[in-house]
Amino acid sequence: MSATQIEEVLKDGIKGSLKAGFKERRGKLEIMVDVLSTAREGARKTEIVYKANLNFNRAEKYLPFLKEKGLMENSGPVYKTTEKGKEFLRGYQKMTEFLLT
């Protein structure tokens, strides 16, 4: 925990700090975007877990779902974002740019 975070906890109290932490949690959509972005050029499950900041249980949930939707494919141990997945990422990027500008 950094000095700034400690000051924040002391200032706002533990309850306020916990609320802020929950607000910053990623939703399912953001997790899918992180997984697809990591596997854009191909990645093994371990690399996806670390770079997308997941645990293996979560990865076991998202990888089959993304494959089922045609956004990701795998051959052997390597997972790769499909063209449909890349299109999804471009659309997501456009949407966030539109909403945040």
* List of residues 6+ apart from 62 with CB closer than 8 A: 31, 32, 35, 54
Could you tell me if residue 11 is inside a domain?
A: no
Could you tell me if residue 16 is inside a domain?
A: no
Could you tell me if residue 6 is inside a domain?
A: no
Could you tell me if residue 4 is inside a domain?
A: no
CATH number at residue 46: 1.10.10.10
Could you tell me if residue 75 is inside a domain?
A: yes
pLDDT given for residue 95 in this prediction: 93
The dihedral region occupied by 53, where left means phi > 0, alpha psi between -120 and 50, and beta the remainder, is: left
Measured CA to CA in angstroms, residue 74 lies from 29, 65, 79, 85 at distances of 20, 12, 4, 13
* List of residues 6+ apart from 38 with CB closer than 8 A: 47, 48, 51, 52
Residue of 77, 74, 76, 79 whose CA lies nearest to 52: 79
> What are the 10-residue block averages of pLDDT along the chain, 101 residues in total?
58 53 77 97 97 95 97 96 97 92 80
Could you tell me if residue 50 is inside a domain?
A: yes
How many structural domains is the chain composed of? 1
pTM of the model: 0.75
pLDDT given for residue 1 in this prediction: 59
Could you tell me if residue 15 is inside a domain?
A: no
Residue range(s) defining the domain that contains residue 64: 26-100
31 vs 46: CA distance, rounded Å = 15
Could you tell me if residue 17 is inside a domain?
A: no
